[in-house]
Amino acid sequence: SQWGEENLQALSIQEGEDVTMNCSYKTYTTVVQWYRQKSGKGPAQLILIRSNEREKRSGRLRATLDTSSQSSSLSITGTLATDTAVYFCATDQGGRALIFGTGTTVSVSP
Amino acid sequence: GPKVLQIPSHQIIDMGQMVTLNCDPVSNHLYFYWYKQILGQQMEFLVNFYNGKVMEKSKLFKDQFSVERPDGSYFTLKIQPTALEDSAVYFCASSSDRGNTEVFFGKGTRLTVV
């Protein structure tokens, strides 16, 4: 999991497996955004889920949001080696600048 | 897709010297940001700039830091003087609205202070 007292988490999986990563946040947010950062690159948005949504899908990605527990998850089904990256959740603290979580490193082996 | 360009990609500078990091945001975006990332760690927010002014800044945005975007030119982050702990990758980002919309990031400038 990201945030709070959690350290940076690393997951190693085989291609084709599914993976789920979690994120918890401390302050009110209007959205949770999930970003992926590949080595040597800047973050790129994967999915945005608003506070009035419980689930959002985009291709192989599925994000959930539970505002009561202030937590979100990102699942990737049928992972590929190209999914290897660090995944960050980010919140906007009620419409302010994005604040990123500590990140989850996902390594997908061919 | 929309691109944020950062120049240079890598800068090495002597401690105490001034450095300016340049960013060319997405053309119709109004909100600009700088983030700092030490190798292998999380992205840390520095500053948000809108309509010629700093809107928000974090504790990491020290007095030695300044930002500006003179009309039609780069959005810049200036550090004067630099310190060893300023070594990091600095990411510029832009968005059409505040945090509840997609934010586009550049590839970063790796700053090494020696």
Position A106 scores a pLDDT of 96
| % of residues, chain B, pLDDT over 90 | 85
Contacts with B4 from chain A: Cβ below 8 Å: 42
Domains along the sequence of chain B with CATH: 5-113 (2.60.40.10)
A7 band by pLDDT with thresholds 50, 70 and 90: very low
Position B70 scores a pLDDT of 86
- For residue B103, the chain A residue with the least C-alpha distance is A45
Position A5 scores a pLDDT of 32
Q: What is the pLDDT of residues B57-109, one digit of tens each?
A: 999 999 999 999 987 789 999 999 999 999 999 999 999 987 678 999 999 99
Contacts with B46 from chain A: Cβ below 8 Å: none
Of A86-90, B40-44, B85-89, B92-96, least confident by mean pLDDT is: B40-44
Position A1 scores a pLDDT of 54
**Closest Cα in chain A, distance from residue B47 (Å):** 8
- Mean pLDDT for all residues in chain A: 90
Long-range contacts of A69-74 (CB under 8 A, 24+ apart): A69/A24, A70/A24, A70/A25, A70/A26, A71/A22, A71/A23, A71/A24, A71/A25, A72/A22, A72/A23, A72/A24, A72/A25, A72/A32, A72/A34, A73/A20, A73/A21, A73/A22, A73/A23, A74/A20, A74/A21, A74/A23, A74/A34, A74/A46, A74/A47
A60 band by pLDDT with thresholds 50, 70 and 90: very high
Mean pLDDT (whole number) for A78-100: 91
